[in-house]
Amino acid sequence: MSRYEFTRAKQDKKLFFKVLSPTLYPSIPIMDTDVYVYPKEGERLESIAHKYYQDTGLWWIIARANDLGDGKMALDPLEQIRVPIDTESILQELERLNSEI
């Protein structure tokens, strides 16, 4: 799944180029189903997303849940991270937020 799947595109009528609307990401509350892991040395968000979701494009869920932002892709093996397992409700909230734009 592409992280831009719910991003709307607009066509500029004067300059004839396409621009993307901002994507609003939902906050991700702590749930009982969340898993807490210590990443391996050199492990990245994409590999953890693949391990738990079978989709590297959902790395942003883990980043958002841990306030990592877009830039911190390599993880500290001494820092425990939370992996939300209930991705269905997160993706539904993402779709709801971005359909209102």
| pTM: predicted TM-score of the whole model, two decimal places | 0.78
Strands (E), 1-101: 9-11, 18-20, 35-37, 81-83
pLDDT at 31: 96
Residue 96: partners with Cβ closer than 8 Å, 6 or more residues away: none
CA distance 13 to 50: 39
- Residue extents of the structural domains in the chain: 9-99
Q: What is the model's pLDDT at position 66?
A: 95
pLDDT tens for residues 53-98? Answer: 999 999 999 999 999 876 556 789 999 999 999 999 999 999 998 8
The structure tokens listed for 21 are: 């609307």
Token pair 């993402």: residue: 94
pLDDT digit string (tens) for 33-54?
999 999 999 899 999 999 999 9
- Write down the pLDDT at residue 74: 77
Under a CB-based contact definition with an 8 Å cutoff, are residues 41 and 79 in contact?
A: no
Q: What is the pLDDT of residue 69?
A: 76
pLDDT of residue 99: 85
